[in-house]
Amino acid sequence: MQDKQIPQEKAMETSEFGYEQELKGSMNVWQLTAFGLNYMLPLAPAVIFGVLLSTSGGTVALPFLLAGMAMFLTAFSYAVMVRNFPLSGSVYSYVGRGWNAHLGFLAGWVVTLDYVLIPTITSVSAAYLVQQYFPNVPFWILLAVFSVGIGLLNLFGVELISKMGLWFLLLGEFVVWTCILFWGKSVYVDGIGTGTLLSVEPFHFESAPGLVAATSVAVLSFLGFDAITTLAEETRNPKRDIPKAIFMCIGIGMITMVTCSYVAMLVIPDWETHVNDLNWMNTVLFQVYKMTGGDTLGLFFTAGYLSSLAVFNLVATAAGARLLYGMGRDNLLPKSVFAAVNKRFNTPHFNIIIIVAIEFILGNTVDLGTISNLVNYGAFFGFAALNVSVVWLYYIKRKGQGPLHLSSETEWVPKGRHHVRYLFIPLLGFLVIIYVWIGMDKLALLLGSMWLIGGFIFLFFRTNRFKDLPPHLKN
């Protein structure tokens, strides 16, 4: 019997793809946008500000701007694919159904690096920051609060996340924009830094390769828009609301990050004098807060930063659990574990527990720098495959659906101006992603490729040398 909490139309929509609707479809476009923005973190620049600054040789705003523009291109492909396949699993489902089932698994396999490693990075960062105020508390206890305590809140369902997410998003945005205004006042009125609000200083960079490398790292802060698609089966109207939420998420996030980075660099045009101070470079925005507002503003930033990190871990765990759910439901991962759903809260509870456990173990045993190097490899692989999948679905398979206002046919063929959205933009997005991917850290490319090869070997044996397909995926 169909769960009364799950709308009948949602169950029918999911059943078209051979699945039973088990996740509760209750989220709207605003809740989805908040979910994605919380995954981005309103204070995202604080996490990687020093890395972008040193890598680019002087600019943080420009890498965020370029990364946001690149993500807009790929966002068009996400919007197209959720129109065709409103399912959990994100790139795993989109690449698997739009292009090839085996490639879909590899895309999902590599993207799991993002969903497990990013919350690990933020948990460790939060634990280290809190330990500065409470040095006698063991690190593993602080890590457990963020990775285990907060992550397990996902067991109580996506409605809890959606309700908390809106409030935490407003808190995070309030903190960051308050600080931006305070920095601007300090520069313009008090004469700190450049002494002017209009300057090219925040856009200075040393070399094009350095700028590309910094842009590849900046993409990390935009991955929240991808996480939105993992909630397709928990959205009231995914074909309409998820594309809207994706574009709103990238737009708001880019404006916030670019503005924050621009104004912060007005405060510290002499950043090169601190480049050899590792502690200063790892906490650049915290230093900016202290320079403009003393310890009081520094504490204000810390409170907002920790709140943002906490809600980030909450939504990141939720997204990762649903990606694994999609792969488990197709029996590529053990179905009894990864496709299991808690009947009371309609959540993939085993996946949540597994992700939290991995996060806690890695946070206590693996170097933070090594983890950071792997994060964007999975995103770039998934984005590149997704863009090609759009072209494959519409021009090779010729089985794609048209825009909502034109057609609901499953074999709609793009014509005229529609070639821009279904051919030109995906190919341009693919080329941009490949260009930025090549500029990545060499260690990240090596370790990420090793993980990809591991997934290839697993899939080879799991599908009888690629002769078998997952039960619900078809070429």
pLDDT along the chain (475 residues), means of 10: 48 57 70 82 74 92 95 94 83 90 89 79 79 84 84 69 67 81 91 92 92 87 83 84 94 93 94 84 80 75 76 77 81 86 83 88 77 78 95 93 69 88 96 87 84 92 80 49
CA-angle at 170, arms to 167 and 171, nearest 5°: 85
pLDDT reported for residue 25? 62
- β partners of residue 342: 347
Of 416, 434, 425, nearest in space to 390 by CA:
425
- Please give the radius of gyration of the chain, using alpha carbons only, rounded to the nearest integer: 22
Distances 420 to 73, 269, 303 between C-alpha atoms, Å: 11, 42, 45
pLDDT reported for residue 1? 36
How many residues in total does the chain contain? 475
| DSSP-assigned letter for residue 392 | I
Q: Encode 233-256: b = buried (16+ Cβ within 10 Å), e = exposed.
A: bbbbbbbebbbbbbbbbbebbbeb
pLDDT reported for residue 205? 94
CATH number of 24-462: 1.20.1740.10
Q: Give me 364's structure tokens.
A: 């206590």
Angle between helices 101-133 and 284-329 (to 10 degrees): 140
pTM: 0.81
- Helix (H, G, I), strand (E, B), or coil: what is residue 99? coil
Q: Give me 414's structure tokens.
A: 């793009």
* Whole-angstrom distance, CA of residue 284 vs CA of residue 59: 13
pLDDT reported for residue 213? 86
pLDDT reported for residue 163? 62
pLDDT reported for residue 12? 47
Of 357, 470, 461, nearest in space to 108 by CA:
470
